[in-house]
């Protein structure tokens, strides 16, 4: 990854509560409709943290009718919430000048789920007669499941993002986002076992933040402010009063309710997605060059990407994170 070429290390010492900058307009695109998994960003918007950092932030939702990904490279977004690192590898491979500057989920919530008690463990899923996997999944994590864990292509049936097939067949297994489909199934009376792929070696970061390399070069201080404010938003959302964030999420996506959001946040905590691993010492948003390389190597070994197709020096810039920013907020809110 890039050697950090700016004086950003000195910026952290100058950022204090109540510091004031000229207001900068920032447009941040998410990867789906507003939900609990976006909570820290809505928290920073709703409780004034972005404003404290001199940022006038607009959050533009993604969704079934809105693909925000090309909007970043086109200059219509300043920051983009991405999924996992595969999309960032793909950008580099295709010469798109965007860079990952933070990773808010230490684990990818990508999972597979089965009816409760039908399979003893993750390994036993290799004997399931049918596994529903989306087209994108078949060309990404499924290839790793076959290569690393002995799953078989003949098990696959297409997943159309509808639970009907799964609910009707107790032996069926399907892909799931760990904080979504398991909750939807439970709401329809089906208890499930959720197998988080990250717990079995799928070691990508998720909910990464990308920006254009041009913005890093021309205004690294703005990038730092956005990342620092977002980190604070996540600590306040996880450990403080998240009422304002809930209200903002529900206003953006009326299908959400307080009850749904509470269950989603509880699932994040149960699965151990955000404030774990390196984030415990380095702060939420942490990412390391070594781990990015490790996932790259996994993707190559599994046949997901070709060897030497991705210049890892262009994937991410770790200089905006790993400073322990926000740990004092967690300490104050938790008493630890």
Of 52, 60, 189, nearest in space to 115 by CA: 189
CATH number of 110-200: 3.40.190.10
Segment 14-37 shows an average pLDDT of 76
Extents of the domains making up the chain? 8-107+204-334, 110-200
For residue range 86-115, list pLDDT tens digits in order: 999 999 999 999 999 999 999 999 999 999
Summarised one tens digit per residue, pLDDT across range 302-325 is 999 999 999 999 999 999 999 999
Identical fold for domains 8-107+204-334 and 110-200, yes or no, is yes
- 3-class SS of residue 305: coil
Give the homologous superfamily in CATH for domain 8-107+204-334. Answer: Periplasmic binding protein-like II (3.40.190.10)
Considering the entire predicted model, what is its pTM?
A: 0.91
Average pLDDT estimate for 119-147: 97
Return the pLDDT at 254.
Answer: 97
Task: Write out pLDDT tens, residues 256-294.
Answer: 999 999 999 999 999 999 999 999 999 999 999 999 999
């Amino acid at each position: 990854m890039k050697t950090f070429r700016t004086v950003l290390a000195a910026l952290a010492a100058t950022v204090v509560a109540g510091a004031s900058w000229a207001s900068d307009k920032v447009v941040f695109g998410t990867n789906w409709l507003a939900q609990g998994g976006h909570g820290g960003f809505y928290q920073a918007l709703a409780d004034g943290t972005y404003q404290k950092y001199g940022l006038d932030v607009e959050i533009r939702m993604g969704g079934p009718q809105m693909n925000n990904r090309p909007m970043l490279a086109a200059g219509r977004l300043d920051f983009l919430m991405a999924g996992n690192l595969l999309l960032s590898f793909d950008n580099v491979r295709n010469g798109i000048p965007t860079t990952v500057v933070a990773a808010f989920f230490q684990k990818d919530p990508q999972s597979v789920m089965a009816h409760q008690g039908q399979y003893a463990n993750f390994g036993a899923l290799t004997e399931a007669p049918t596994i529903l996997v989306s087209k994108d999944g078949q060309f990404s994590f499924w290839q790793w499941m076959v290569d690393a864990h002995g799953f078989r292509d003949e098990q696959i049936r297409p997943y159309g993002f509808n639970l009907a097939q799964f609910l009707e067949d107790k032996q069926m297994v399907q892909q799931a986002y760990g904080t979504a489909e398991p909750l939807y199934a439970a709401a329809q009376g089906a208890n499930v076992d959720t197998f988080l792929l990250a717990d079995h070696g799928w070691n990508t970061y998720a909910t990464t933040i990308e920006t254009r390399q041009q913005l890093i070069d021309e205004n690294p201080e703005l990038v730092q402010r956005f990342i620092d404010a977002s980190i604070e938003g996540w600590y306040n959302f996880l450990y403080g009063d998240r009422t304002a964030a809930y209200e903002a999420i529900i206003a953006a996506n009326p299908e959400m309710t307080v009850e749904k959001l509470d269950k989603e946040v509880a699932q994040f905590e149960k699965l151990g997605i955000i404030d774990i691993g390196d984030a415990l010492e380095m702060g939420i948003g942490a990412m390391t060059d070594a781990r990015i390389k490790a996932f790259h190597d996994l993707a190559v070994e599994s046949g997901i990407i070709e060897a030497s197709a991705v210049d890892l020096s262009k994937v991410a810039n770790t200089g905006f994170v790993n400073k322990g920013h926000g740990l004092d907020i967690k300490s104050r809110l938790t008493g630890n």
